Amino acid sequence: MLLALYHDFQSGRMAHATLLSGESGIGKKTVARLLAQGLLCRSEGERPCGACRDCRRFLARTHPDALFPAPAPREKTIKIDALREMIDALSRHSLEGGARVVLIENAERMTAQAQNCLLKTLEEAEEGTYFLLTCDQESALLPTIRSRCRCIRMQPWSGERVEKALVEKGVPGDRAKALSLYCEGSLGRALAMQEDASYWQARDTVRRSFLSVSRLADLPAAMQALKDQKDNGDRLLDILEQELRALMRARMLQEQDAADDFPALWQNAPPQAIRAVLEAVFAARKQKNANVGWAALSEGLLQTISEEATKWQV
């Protein structure tokens, strides 16, 4: 789909309204901005060139024919005023005589009123005006808007591609590998996790506790690692779940390379054992919501894990 979009762009046949949707962090805004810049760029060669006057002004957000309806400062939604301002600008002639682009990022933040206002504009826009919208959930937009756009659903990235991109951005190889397993195909999410020191601390705690018990005798040390983590409990359970899911995937797809990233004990864990532990995690989360104390809850979970581990190690 993305290739088709690129082709349309290259051949000068861009749809006049395009909606890019898909999970956050997979590059929708990057693609939308490149397209917007490319539509304004007047280089004879590859577009966007990044060097011409139009490109430079687009990047500095000072191009008179690039409009960015967005939430007002300190507001979360895109209100009708922002759309009215855009319509006002569109009612005048293109200031530079070339294409005009309207880029609406996080289009689902438009209020219903704003969406209706946009709808009218989409119907009446002049030739040479291009609308580019991005959103996480297509369904958050009015069906009437979607039906007037070329809808492109962007897919999550493969783990390999995320890993490669992270390494290119200077992330050390082992971290890039780990992040590619957890980020669910979202480079943006991987980068946010990479920068979050508390995430790595919590992950380390999970590995030193829940993922290191192989028999009952290991419980006291694991309990010790968890004892001051009461306030961090939800996060630890989330990370444990994330780790188990990534491991399950690696085991089911027989990606031994990915499984090797986990503590030795878990590298050969059978999928049914991983599933049993995942269920224990869900149960622990329920207990937590029912105000069961962290010590009792984590001990119960550790016990279940050690019981499962004893089974597959025999």
Binding interface with Zn ion (CB under 5 A) = 41, 43, 48-49, 52, 55
Report, in Å, the least distance between residue 95 CB and Zn ion: 17
Report, in Å, the least distance between residue 108 CB and Zn ion: 30
Give, for 18, the enclosing helix (H) or strand (E).
strand 17-21
Dihedral pair phi/psi, residue 152, rounded to 5°: -120, 115
Q: What is the DSSP letter of 44?
A: S
Report, in Å, the least distance between residue 106 CB and Zn ion: 26
Smaller CB separation from Zn ion, 43 or 121: 43
Smaller CB separation from Zn ion, 49 or 119: 49
Report, in Å, the least distance between residue 205 CB and Zn ion: 49
**Contact indicator for 212, 182 with CB cutoff of 8 Å:** no
Smaller CB separation from Zn ion, 22 or 48: 48
Report, in Å, the least distance between residue 49 CB and Zn ion: 4
Residue 233 to residue 220: CA distance in whole angstroms = 18
Smaller CB separation from Zn ion, 65 or 163: 65
Smaller CB separation from Zn ion, 43 or 77: 43
Start-end of H helices in the chain? 2-10, 28-40, 53-59, 80-91, 112-124, 143-146, 159-168, 173-182, 187-195, 197-208, 219-226, 233-252, 256-259, 271-289, 294-313
**Contact indicator for 295, 227 with CB cutoff of 8 Å:** yes
Report, in Å, the least distance between residue 50 CB and Zn ion: 6
In degrees, to the nearest 5, what angle opens at C-alpha 219 toward C-alphas 216 and 220?
A: 130
Residue 32: which of 129, 135, 112 has the closest Cα? 135
Smaller CB separation from Zn ion, 48 or 69: 48
Q: How would you list the strands of the sheet with 100-104, edge to edge?
A: 66-67, 100-104, 129-135, 17-21, 150-153
Report, in Å, the least distance between residue 60 CB and Zn ion: 13
> Is residue 195 packed enough to be buried (19+ CB in 10 Å), middle (13-18) or exposed (0-12)?
exposed
Smaller CB separation from Zn ion, 32 or 246: 32
- Kindly give the interhelix angle for 197-208 and 219-226, rounded to the nearest 10 degrees: 160
